[in-house]
Structure formats: structure tokens, C-alpha cells
Amino acid sequence: MTSSHPALIAGEPVQASGQVDIQDPSTGEIFASTPDCGPAEVDVAVAAAQQAGRAWRLTAVAERAAALRRIGQLVLDHQDELGRLESRQTGKPLAQGLRDAELTARYFDFYASAIETFSGSTVPLNASNLIYTSWEPHGVTGHITPWNYPMQILARSIAPALAMGNGTVLKPAEEAPLTALRLAGLAVEAGLPTGLFNVVTGLGESAGAALTRHPGIGHISFTGSVEVGRIISTAAAQRVIPVTMELGGKSPNIVFADADLDRAVPVIVNSILQMAGQTCSAGSRLLVQEQIHDEVIDRIAKAFAATEIGPALEDPQLGPLISGPQRERVLSYLEQGRSSGTVVTGGEALNGGRYGDGYFVQPTLIDDVDPAGPLGQDEIFGPVLVASTFKDLDEALALANGTDYGLVAGVWTTHVGTAHRMVRDVMAGQVFVNTYGASGGVELPFGGFKQSGHGREKGAEGLRGFGQLKTGVIAL
């Protein structure tokens, strides 16, 4: 039986003429639907956010922070429910769904604290003027999010936007909008003023495009593909409003011959298998120094082959891909791997038995990949690691920087000079040494170089994108 989940606008459930089906990627079953909102629903949502935002921006910081903390607490109180729903709609292993709920709560808590210690400054000019800067909200911020980490990604932009005093309108991904709706309901329960957090569900071309074009939106936070990022940036440029673009990646793990492999291999494996490789910051390229190539490939191949794969709610190590089309896309890259590389392990879809009609693919390691070819350049977005070798640090750097992306990199070395050179010269928003990802890292500023995007979310810096700086000058 499918359940229907209305959009949430001005605190009220709202239906639209069209519906979008929601599928369980572990089984292929359609289990829910949401309205396909369009310009009319977006209009009402933006008007509600504008109206609520007018009082909210003047509400005491302590009161705004308290509301955010109450949302965080309610998310924690409902961790099991939210985690299960996230796991079901995205196909991620249950433990990850539960962890995502915990991190979602942490975002609300973190930005409650961040706004309480955030302030402008005074500017010394001369004795006859008093000059100060202050941060003001944009008014209404639009948030367009993907399906891979729906709760975490909404929280990392909605929490700072609300903290800064904005009203917000969220368009979650059509594949996985259910936790966003539940969370917005919890925000109402937490006493967040009505209209500050609206969720318009539906397709990108309808609800997403209507939100992007709406004249009442003062800033857009977009997380998703480069292709859609370009469409949204173009629309925002027409209206001359700022955007934050959190786009894709082809992030390398770079393993030097002096690396501690016992430490490196499990982290490298997890960095590509987490969420079945459908993570923007997935460690999807392996660059390994020649002399340790065989050993690293062998260790990773063994770990891949031993991976437990299954339906998300059974909490395996690896769940399904999000959808049939996404699986087809990944399989087409595996086909290329057979002709232009060496498939060391994996390479097949999994069907029947435990896998039923779900969208499962084996963890796959493809060696001898041409770094300049599609396997070495494209974001595959599946449990697929592509490997190539390097001779020395300069070649490692050239390969690491040799794609259009620049989101994250992992460096594995025990040499302190190599570590610092790589952090300095790898063109990526985050460079990790002897670790990768830092357990979610709500506190760490995140965002891309090059086509991985611009602007930063997360961390205290993440507040700035959701405000605009004003300079006040008073003649004394």
C-alpha cells in the first residue's frame, strides 16, 4: 500500500494536481507519493516565508537559537523513525540512516551555537565617524537538495539560513523527499514560527524550476549535479542573486609507498562503498605509487569481495543504488572498464534471491585506467573504484589535479613534507592526510574548487553565505 505525503507550506499540508511516486531502491516497490508542486504552490510558500521572515530577523538571537536547539532535540528523539525512513527511501544501510539523523540534529545544535557567537565589527576610520558592520538575512532563501543524504544536506543549509534570520523554502529531491517532510513537521512541533520552513515537493523541472525563478527568493543553496547547477546558476544570474553551488566530485585517495596500509585500506574502501559510492565526496579514484601497487590492489580487492550486500533495512555494508536508471548508468561504465581497463573484482549487477528487484551492483575495482578517459574523469556515482599508478610526488599531484572537479582528496603518507606539499598543492576544498571524511564533520567548512562548486557550507563559515554584510556609518 502506498501512502501519500503532502507538501508542507505555511505549516499546512498541501496537495497539487500531479503526484510523484517514491520507490524503495532495495525492493523496487513504490511505497509512497508526494505532490508535484508548481508555480502556484511555490508562490504560497515564498509568501509565507517572506511574512514569517519579517518578524524572525528581528527576533532575539537567543530565541532563534533556542528554536533550532528544540528542532535538534526532536530530531534526536525521533532518530529511529527518521533513520529508518532515510534508509528505506535512499537504500542506505540502516546504521548510516541512523547516523545521518544524529548528524542532522547536530547541524541544528551547531548553528544555534554559531549564531549566538556571530557578530559584525567596528571599523576604525577617523574621529568624526562611528562605523560598524552587521549581518542581515537575504529574506527568503531557496534550498534545492539531492537524494543521497536528504536529511543531512537540508540541515546543513536550512539550519544556518534560519539561524541568520531568513525564511526558507526547500525543494527536496523527488526520489527521497520523505524525511524532509517529516523534519519540517517536527520543526512545527518544536515551535518554529509558522511559515519559516516550507517544503515544496516535486520534480526538478516543475517545483525546482519554479523556486529557482521566483522573484521573492534572495539566495539559492543548491546541492546536486554540475549540469543542474549550471541551469540554476544561469537563472540566478538573470535575477542577480547569490548562489552556493555544492556539486560533484572525482576525489582521489593518493597512496605513497611509505603509507601505513593497515590504516589506509579500510578507510579507502569505506570512502567508496559508503552509500554505494553515491556520495559527492566519495573516494572514487585510487592513485597509488608504483612500488606498492600490487599489494594495495590485492588488499582492496579482497575487502571488496568480502563486502556484505543486501537490503538497506537489514543493515548490510553495501545497499542498492537509488534507481534503475542510475544502475544502468553505472553498468555502462563497468562495460567500458572491461574494454579499457582491468576489472579486478566485481563488475556485475546482482538480481534475484536476497536482491529481489532491488538495484544492486557489486563493489568493483577497475585497474589500469586511463586517467584522461571517461573512467578516470567522470563521476560514476556507484561502488566503483578506478585505479592508476604514479612514479613520484609531481606525477601524483598532476593526476590528483587532472580532472574538472576539486571537492575532496585523501593523502596517505608517513612523510611530513609530502603531507604538507599535498595539502598545499592539491586543488580541492578539503584535503585529508591519513584519514578521510572526519566522521561527518559538521564543524568543517566544505565545498568545491573548480566544477565541484563555489561557496562554503558547514562549519562557522557556513553562516556567511546565508547573510549579507551591511556597513553603517554615523557622523558624530
Point out the residues that are catalytic: 171, 246, 280, 379
Of 390 and 432, CB closest to ligand NAD: 432
User: Shortest gap between Cβ of 212 and ligand NAD (angstroms)?
Assistant: 5
Of 27 and 278, CB closest to ligand NAD: 278
Residues 6+ apart with CB under 8 A from 124: 131
Q: Is 248 an interacting residue with respect to ligand NAD (CB under 6 A)? A: yes
Q: Is 275 an interacting residue with respect to ligand NAD (CB under 6 A)? A: no
Site size with ligand NAD, rule: CB under 6 A: 29
x/- track of binding to ligand NAD for residues 360-399 (CB under 6 A): -------------------x-x------------------
Of 193 and 248, CB closest to ligand NAD: 248
Region near ligand NAD per CB under 6 A, out of 97-105, 225-233, 306-314, 338-346: 225-233
Choosing from 205, 308, 335, 348, the residue that interacts with ligand NAD (CB under 6 A) is 205
Of 42 and 369, CB closest to ligand NAD: 42
C-alpha cell at 132: 560598524
C-beta nearest to ligand NAD: residue: 204
Choosing from 85, 280, 286, 399, the residue that interacts with ligand NAD (CB under 6 A) is 280
User: Shortest gap between Cβ of 453 and ligand NAD (angstroms)?
Assistant: 6
Region near ligand NAD per CB under 6 A, out of 120-128, 205-213, 354-362, 461-469: 205-213
CA dihedral angle for residue 279, residue 431, residue 295, residue 301, rounded to 10 degrees: 0
User: Shortest gap between Cβ of 99 and ligand NAD (angstroms)?
Assistant: 16
SS (H, E, C) the chain: CCEECCEEECCEEECCCEEEEEECCCCCCEEEEEEECCHHHHHHHHHHHHHHHHHHCCCCHHHHHHHHHHHHHHHHHCHHHHHHHHHHHHCCCHHHHHHHHHHHHHHHHHHHHHHHCCCCCECCCCCCEEEEEEEEECCEEEEECCCCCHHHHHHHHHHHHHHHCCEEEEECCCCCCHHHHHHHHHHHHCCCCCCCEEECCCCHHHHHHHHHHCCCCCEEEEECCHHHHHHHHHHHHHHCCCEEEECCCCEEEEECCCCCHHHHHHHHHHHHHHHHHCCCCCEEEEEEEHHHHHHHHHHHHHHHHCCCECCHHHCCCECCCCCHHHHHHHHHHHHHHHHHCEEEECCCEECCHHHCCCCEECCEEEECCCCCCHHHHCCCCCCEEEEEEECCHHHHHHHHCCCCCCCEEEEECCCHHHHHHHHHHCCCCEEEECCCCHHHCCCCCECCCHHHEECCECCHHHHHHHEEEEEEEEEC
Q: Is 109 an interacting residue with respect to ligand NAD (CB under 6 A)? A: no
Of 35 and 453, CB closest to ligand NAD: 453
Instruction: Name the residue among 468, 463, 437, 441 with its Cα closest to residue 158.
Output: 463
User: Shortest gap between Cβ of 203 and ligand NAD (angstroms)?
Assistant: 6
Please state, in angstroms and rounded to a whole number, the distance separating the CA atoms of residues 318 and 315: 8
User: Shortest gap between Cβ of 218 and ligand NAD (angstroms)?
Assistant: 17
- Name which of residues 145 to 204 contact ligand NAD (CB under 6 A): 145-148, 153, 171, 173-174, 204
- Name which of residues 448 to 467 contact ligand NAD (CB under 6 A): 453
Q: Is 247 an interacting residue with respect to ligand NAD (CB under 6 A)? A: yes
Instruction: Name the residue among 376, 407, 377 with its Cα closest to residue 389.
Output: 376
CA dihedral angle for residue 190, residue 192, residue 195, residue 199, rounded to 10 degrees: -50
Q: Is 358 an interacting residue with respect to ligand NAD (CB under 6 A)? A: no
User: Shortest gap between Cβ of 465 and ligand NAD (angstroms)?
Assistant: 13
User: Shortest gap between Cβ of 304 and ligand NAD (angstroms)?
Assistant: 21
Q: Is 209 an interacting residue with respect to ligand NAD (CB under 6 A)? A: yes
Residues 6+ apart with CB under 8 A from 304: 269, 273, 345, 346, 362, 363, 364, 365, 385
Q: Is 144 an interacting residue with respect to ligand NAD (CB under 6 A)? A: yes
User: Shortest gap between Cβ of 308 and ligand NAD (angstroms)?
Assistant: 25
User: Shortest gap between Cβ of 426 and ligand NAD (angstroms)?
Assistant: 17
Choosing from 65, 112, 115, 228, the residue that interacts with ligand NAD (CB under 6 A) is 228
Choosing from 51, 79, 225, 435, the residue that interacts with ligand NAD (CB under 6 A) is 225
Please state, in angstroms and rounded to a whole number, the distance separating the CA atoms of residues 163 and 157: 10
Of 147 and 466, CB closest to ligand NAD: 147
Q: Is 309 an interacting residue with respect to ligand NAD (CB under 6 A)? A: no
Q: Is 409 an interacting residue with respect to ligand NAD (CB under 6 A)? A: no
Of 65 and 232, CB closest to ligand NAD: 232
Of 149 and 412, CB closest to ligand NAD: 149
In the complex, the residues that contact ligand NAD under the rule CB under 6 A are: 144-148, 153, 171, 173-174, 204-205, 208-209, 212, 223-225, 228, 231-232, 246-249, 280, 379, 381, 407, 453
